[in-house]
């Protein structure tokens, strides 16, 4: 009789232990699900609060099915990508980083064609003849306004002042230099060019008077790739 009682007691203990373990596991799972759900809602709420779209925020928080939200999120991402693609140029373009003195050339489909080193503005200050020049490369969105093969550099006033020379009148023969700009140049407006250089050892450094200098091969590819109106993004 005692043996039977002991077996029944042992069985009850095992049942209760199993019940307790099952309850513990269910509690852990429920806690994990709640935390995961709260993190999702917190992420959604934070994003929508930043966008100040409070009506959409209320709608999203009322959703109870995360899968439905993920489907809508995927749709929203695709629509956003489509809108962003509308801002991309419809022809080849170039990015110029004046901090690292590097360029990246892209075709009209946005595929990278070439990258390398350039030289940009030195930010040197020059004073003379009651004028002041700051030699910096303009930043922003520019366009190719003209393309020239075998360009001739027309030396501005600062080129003579920098060398301590007397400034000649406009059109004087001393203002024209051949071969200084390389084989090609692309006009960005206001006297700024993308052109070649005699000082290739300085590529990758900020040493110019504002123009963008490139190596011979990079310049040739850039000249042949960019067309009139092509975007030039300088930052």
Handedness of CA 76, 80, 83, 88 (dihedral sign): negative
Here the tokens at position 42 are 């917190």
**pLDDT of res. 65:** 63
Question: Cβ–Cβ contacts within 10 Å for residue 182, how many?
Answer: 22
**pLDDT of res. 102:** 98
Fold classification of 93-234 (topology level): L,D-transpeptidase catalytic domain-like (2.40.440)
DSSP state, residue 120: E
Cβ-based neighbours of 97, under 8 Å, separated by 6 or more: 103, 104, 235
Q: What is the pTM of this model?
A: 0.66
Grouped pLDDT means (10 residues each) for the chain, 235 residues: 59 65 69 66 59 59 63 80 76 97 95 97 95 96 97 96 95 95 97 97 98 98 98 97
**Measured between alpha carbons, how far is 55 from 52 in angstroms, rounded to an integer?**
9
């Amino acid at each position: 009789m005692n043996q039977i009682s002991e077996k029944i007691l042992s069985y009850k203990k095992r049942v209760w232990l199993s019940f307790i373990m099952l309850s513990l596991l269910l509690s852990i799972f429920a806690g994990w699900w709640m935390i995961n759900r709260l993190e999702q809602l917190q992420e959604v709420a934070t994003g929508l609060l930043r966008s100040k779209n409070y009506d959409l925020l209320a709608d999203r928080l009322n959703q109870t099915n995360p899968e439905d939200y993920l489907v809508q999120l995927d749709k929203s991402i695709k629509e956003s990508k489509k809108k962003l693609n509308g801002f991309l140029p419809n022809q080849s373009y170039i990015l110029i980083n004046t901090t690292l003195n590097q360029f990246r050339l892209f075709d009209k489909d946005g595929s990278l064609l070439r990258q390398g080193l350039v030289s940009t503005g030195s930010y040197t200050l020059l004073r003379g003849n009651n004028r002041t020049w700051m030699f910096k490369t303009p930043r922003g969105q520019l366009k190719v306004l003209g393309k020239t093969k075998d360009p001739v550099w027309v030396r501005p006033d600062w080129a003579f002042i920098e060398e301590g020379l007397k400034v000649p009148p406009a059109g004087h023969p001393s203002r024209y230099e051949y071969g200084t700009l390389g084989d090609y140049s692309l006009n960005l407006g206001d006297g700024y060019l993308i052109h070649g250089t005699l000082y290739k050892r300085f590529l990758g450094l900020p040493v110019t008077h504002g123009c963008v200098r490139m190596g011979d091969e990079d310049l040739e590819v850039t000249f042949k790739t960019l067309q009139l109106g092509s975007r030039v993004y300088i930052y």
